[in-house]
């Protein structure tokens, strides 16, 4: 694996094809394959948040979700920059889950943000079965009920869009209790903001 080191944290920096090879290999294992997308803001939080730092150190794979991380690491690679800006890892991962009819469970923080991301998934990946959806704010601050809800649907993958650093807290407390092949954690705001800007540009130029 190619890695970069920023603020004492070693982050994976493979090309997209190589990253997908690691994903496929990880999904063949009997244990949960854990992936966390990383941004500059998260690294700043990780300087003082021990659970977030522990999450980034313990997951199976880290995905660069902010091209500025390359700049900080002194790397000038146009292909990698474009892969990161276009959310290449997440999109390719979702296409593979969709093609294989893998069942997904969506876990969010608030009801509003969870519903927003659910709509995005159904619009972009209509053939990917979403077996369950949960928002943490509806569960009275208890993670046990959420984990039971996740496991009751027998998902292949859990996509968690709880905002950092709360996502790290949930992950560290419950990673050993989740019955799935894949855990993917990400901040949804950047992806949905980029999609909104692209749609707005297309409306201006194509109509």
Beta strands in 93-151 (DSSP E): 104-108, 130-135
CA–CA separation, 65 and 69 (whole Å): 8
As a whole number, mean pLDDT of residues 7-24 equals 96
203 or 38, which is more confident: 38
Q: Whole-model pTM?
A: 0.91
Average pLDDT value for the chain: 90
DSSP 128: S
- Is the confidence at residue 140, as pLDDT, over 90? no
Tens of pLDDT, residues 27-41: 999 899 999 999 999
**pLDDT greater than 80 at residue 127:** yes
Which tens digit of pLDDT belongs to each residue from 162-200?
A: 999 999 999 999 999 999 999 999 998 767 665 444 344
Alpha-carbon span 104 to 157, nearest angstrom: 5
């Amino acid at each position: 694996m190619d890695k970069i080191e920023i603020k004492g944290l070693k982050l994976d920096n493979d090309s997209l094809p190589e990253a997908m090879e690691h994903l496929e290999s990880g999904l063949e294992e009997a244990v949960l394959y854990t992936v966390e997308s990383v941004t500059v803001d998260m690294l700043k939080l990780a300087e003082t948040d021990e659970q977030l730092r522990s999450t980034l150190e313990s997951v199976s794979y880290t995905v660069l979700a902010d091209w500025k991380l390359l700049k900080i690491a002194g790397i000038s690679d146009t292909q990698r920059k474009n892969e990161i800006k276009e959310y290449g890892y997440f999109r390719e991962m979702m296409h593979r889950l969709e093609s294989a009819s893998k069942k997904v469970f969506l876990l969010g923080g608030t009801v509003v943000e969870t519903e927003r991301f659910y709509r995005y998934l159904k619009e972009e990946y209509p053939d990917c079965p979403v077996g369950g959806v949960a928002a943490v704010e509806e569960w009275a601050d208890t993670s046990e009920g959420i984990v039971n809800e996740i496991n009751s649907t027998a998902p292949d993958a859990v996509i968690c869009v709880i905002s950092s650093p709360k996502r790290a807290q949930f992950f560290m407390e419950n990673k050993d209790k989740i019955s799935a092949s894949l855990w993917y954690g990400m901040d949804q705001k950047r992806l949905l903001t980029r999609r909104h800007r692209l749609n707005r540009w297309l409306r201006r130029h194509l109509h």
